[in-house]
Structure 1
Amino acid sequence: MKYNMGLRQKIGIAFGLIAAALIPGVSYAQTDDNGMDNAVILLYHHVAENTPASTSISPDTFAEHMEYLANNHTVLGLPEVISALRQGDTLPERTVVITFDDGYDNILTNAHPILKRHGFPYTIFINPEEIGSNRSQLTWEQVETMQNDGVVFANHTLDHLHMLERKPGESESAWLKRVWSNVTEAEDILEEKTGRSLKYLAYPFGEYNLALANKLSQAGYIGFGQHSGGVSSESQFSALPRFPAAGPYANLKTLKTKLESLAMPVSSYTPEDPMISDKGAPPKVTFTVTSEDVDLGRVNCFFGGDTITPRVNKMTATVTLDDALPVGRSRINCTAPSIAKSGRYYWYSQPFFVADSNGKYPD
């Protein structure tokens, strides 16, 4: 499933310049029929039938997902896609990346044979302190075996903590120093055990705030969340979205639409910090798009199963909720059709993280 980034990339760039000349004022997510500045990252946890339903997909359904990808998409490894996006290289149209959070042994037992049969690369974000010490997790010997088969392992913190939680009386600077030490210790163990330090971090539970995201960027890391949407060279690399594809999101019919999604080209947005401290105020989300290929006049937004019609002023959409946010994790998702790519939608997701009265975040 390798992709030649050389001549085809140059042709794609040239085609994109021609398209821009033919239709002044319109920018596109693609450069030619085979090259795009776009990918979709999928997120799985368990591949099993006897594990928590909210984070699980059955082996049979997982096999259906992979068969569909084999017939309709190009599956590339996460490092390859991140490198292409950071360098401004194009990717094959309909590129998909497969990732797992937590190093459960059922990934090896139930998912790995299916992925290996298709020749699909994939990445597992693991907690080094859990590997070999938790019976549901992989062992380091199994990690080595899978790595020899091409599986990539990356950082999910040392012990899967809620990174936003502070200890009693802990200052912001002390909190940030503590949680970042957790990240770097995990990265050191990963490098020792696998011989590789990618400096990728998947936030446990998808939880992060602006201070943590800034620290991650300053340290040269790439961050991965659990909110949804496509990714492009314009994405926020301190918190890249991934589409959950298990539990309530395992339905292949609805997943097909998400696999076709395009990263919303956004120049500015509010709130910048997804950790919400003003718990009583209904949130207002705004985002400004940079491409006229986004049909913002037909944008729809969704929250908690409800559809919300945003207010649109030129290239800016504003979404206001009627009620305060619930404790825990939630998000507003907005989609708008592509003008050039019929049937495909730009996707923007704004996550929120709200602690309870004790400053804790639910699992």
Structure 2
Amino acid sequence: MMKKGLWSIVILLFAALAQTAKAKDNAVILLYHHVSEQTPAVTSVSPDVFRQHLEYLAANYQVLPLQEVVQAISQNKPLPDKAVVITFDDGYDNIFDNAHPLLKEFKFPYTVFINPPLIGNASYQLSWQQVQLMSKEGATFANHGNTHEHLLAKYAGENEKQWLARVMQNINQAEQTLAQQVGYSLKYFAYPYGEFNLKLKQALRQQGYVGFAQISGAVASYSDFGALPRYPAAGIYSNINSLKTKLDSLAMPVSNTTPAEPQLTLPIPAFQFKFDVLADDLRMSQVNCFVADKVVPLSFAKNTITLPFKAQQRAGRQRINCTAPSITEPNRYYWFSQPWFVPTEEGQWLD
């Protein structure tokens, strides 16, 4: 018969293994745009601050290629604990000038989502020669569409079917050009402005794409592969102290979001937003939700969180972020973000 002391050690070992296994099905994807001091502050991080980010990642995390993480979570395979991915949107030339040398120095892989027709044709964009060189030195390139426009906007007289066909043609043409230029097709698509709706997300998945959003949260096997979250890491989000908490975050296991449609139309009537949470490792009583850093009152019954929203008249992009501490890892937080995209009453989309 096993002695009491030895049995206790065995129990602790199994608990530690279970905790490690849970944490391994998880990664954080960071999103950058500019690495420069001469570009809009809201989407920029200075080279010095970017180096600070990379130094912290090198000391505390394992930076992996985006493809490795997507493949692992799509196949429910384990990842190293505290896995991180670095991504950029828009293909700005300062990525080559300021970010690439640092990433090469740290030997970090990264992915840039680009608009192929702009490459080599817009003065502020990368050239195809730079893309080719970066590809040889740790970078991969993925699809951001043929044009950087609001994909949810319809042309005059365009119906829903025509709109979706046009947008998917835009995306597929960009993917074809990318494949011709870099020699591979990842079929990864980052939504311009982070904007998507259910029909676009479903169409992407049906054609074999993985979608990437601009919402907060980690990724795991149970994430939405039509809109995988990425943490913005520039502008007001570039502070390393606040970024540390996000880098340690866990993907909240959420299902049955209601309403599920992120595209709303003005005027927005009062509504209740609900979602279910698998609460095995998070404290339901400590779930907190925020809109623009303000706490939103909530209620929960069993595993369902309900949040009331007042009638609204504001157009633009909005999102709610919800967090809850892990039980097995008290210093880490589960994180979930739900976006809403609202055009003006005239149907215009705000930058």
TM-score of the superposed pair, with normalisation by structure 2: 0.94
Are 2:287 and 2:322, in contact at CA under 8 Å, matched by a contact in 1?
yes
Residues 269 and 29 (structure 1), Cα distance of their counterparts in 2 relative to 1, 3 Å cut: farther
Partner of 2:33: 45
**Residue among 232, 235, 246 paired with 1:247:** 235
Cα deviation for residue 30 of structure 1 reads 4.3
Task: Structure 2: state its 5+ residue gaps.
Answer: 1-10
Secondary structure in structure 2 of the residue aligned to 1:205: helix
Partner of 1:3: none
**What amino acid sits opposite 1:195 in the alignment?**
G
1:36 is the counterpart of 2:24: yes
Partner of 2:350: 362
Aligned-pair identity in percent equals 52
> Hey, what's the Cα distance between the residues in 1 that align with 2:163 and 2:99?
37
Cα deviation for residue 358 of structure 1 reads 1.9
Are 2:218 and 2:230, in contact at CA under 8 Å, matched by a contact in 1?
yes
Cα deviation for residue 199 of structure 1 reads 0.3
> Hey, what's the Cα distance between the residues in 1 that align with 2:271 and 2:244?
30
Equivalent positions of 1:165-180 (< 5 A) are: 165-180=153-168
> Hey, what's the Cα distance between the residues in 1 that align with 2:271 and 2:49?
36
**What amino acid sits opposite 1:74 in the alignment?**
Q
Secondary structure in structure 1 of the residue aligned to 2:105: helix
Equivalent positions of 1:113-132 (< 5 A) are: 113-132=101-120
> Hey, what's the Cα distance between the residues in 2 that align with 1:258 and 1:322?
29
**What amino acid sits opposite 2:269 in the alignment?**
A
Residues 228 and 132 (structure 1), Cα distance of their counterparts in 2 relative to 1, 3 Å cut: same
**Residue among 308, 323, 328 paired with 2:296:** 308
Partner of 2:265: 277
**Residue among 182, 189, 204 paired with 1:201:** 189
Measured against aligned partners, the alpha-carbon deviations of 1:307-361 in whole angstroms (never above 9, x if no partner) come to 1231111111111223416211110000011101111110010000000122111
**What amino acid sits opposite 1:167 in the alignment?**
Y
Partner of 1:298: 286
> Hey, what's the Cα distance between the residues in 2 that align with 1:193 and 1:219?
21
After superposing the two structures, state which structure 1 stretch, 281-290 or 344-353, moved more: 281-290
After superposing the two structures, state which structure 1 stretch, 268-277 or 205-214, moved more: 268-277
> Hey, what's the Cα distance between the residues in 1 that align with 2:266 and 2:314?
12
> Hey, what's the Cα distance between the residues in 1 that align with 2:195 and 2:205?
16
After superposing the two structures, state which structure 1 stretch, 45-54 or 279-288, moved more: 279-288
Task: Structure 1: state its 5+ residue gaps.
Answer: 1-14, 23-27
Equivalent positions of 1:110-149 (< 5 A) are: 110-149=98-137
Measured against aligned partners, the alpha-carbon deviations of 1:47-97 in whole angstroms (never above 9, x if no partner) come to 000101110000000100110000011100100000011111111111100
Are 1:288 and 1:316, in contact at CA under 8 Å, matched by a contact in 2?
yes
> Hey, what's the Cα distance between the residues in 2 that align with 1:325 and 1:313?
30
Secondary structure in structure 2 of the residue aligned to 1:161: coil
Secondary structure in structure 1 of the residue aligned to 2:329: coil
**Residue among 44, 53, 59 paired with 1:71:** 59
1:182 is the counterpart of 2:170: yes
**What amino acid sits opposite 1:223 in the alignment?**
G
Secondary structure in structure 2 of the residue aligned to 1:67: helix
**What amino acid sits opposite 1:76 in the alignment?**
L
> Hey, what's the Cα distance between the residues in 2 that align with 1:278 and 1:339?
40
1:89 is the counterpart of 2:77: yes
Measured against aligned partners, the alpha-carbon deviations of 1:264-308 in whole angstroms (never above 9, x if no partner) come to 001221221100125331343211112321111001111022112
Secondary structure in structure 1 of the residue aligned to 2:21: coil
Secondary structure in structure 1 of the residue aligned to 2:117: coil
Runs of 4+ in 1 over 6 A off after TM superposition: none
Instruction: Report how many aligned residue pairs link the two structures.
Output: 341
**Residue among 220, 225, 234 paired with 2:208:** 220
Higher-Rg member (1/2):
2
Are 2:266 and 2:343, in contact at CA under 8 Å, matched by a contact in 1?
no
> Hey, what's the Cα distance between the residues in 2 that align with 1:38 and 1:326?
35
Partner of 2:86: 98
> Hey, what's the Cα distance between the residues in 2 that align with 1:280 and 1:270?
15
Cα deviation for residue 171 of structure 1 reads 0.6
1:58 is the counterpart of 2:46: yes
Secondary structure in structure 2 of the residue aligned to 1:286: strand
Calculate the aligned-residue CA RMSD, in Å. 1.9
Secondary structure in structure 1 of the residue aligned to 2:161: helix
Measured against aligned partners, the alpha-carbon deviations of 1:147-178 in whole angstroms (never above 9, x if no partner) come to 01121000000111110000112110000000
Are 1:29 and 1:37, in contact at CA under 8 Å, matched by a contact in 2?
no
**What amino acid sits opposite 2:349 in the alignment?**
Y
Are 1:126 and 1:155, in contact at CA under 8 Å, matched by a contact in 2?
yes
Secondary structure in structure 2 of the residue aligned to 1:189: helix
TM-score of the superposed pair, with normalisation by structure 1: 0.91
Are 2:108 and 2:138, in contact at CA under 8 Å, matched by a contact in 1?
no
Measured against aligned partners, the alpha-carbon deviations of 1:235-281 in whole angstroms (never above 9, x if no partner) come to 00000000000011111110100111100001221221100125331
Secondary structure in structure 2 of the residue aligned to 1:168: coil
**Residue among 213, 216, 231 paired with 2:219:** 231
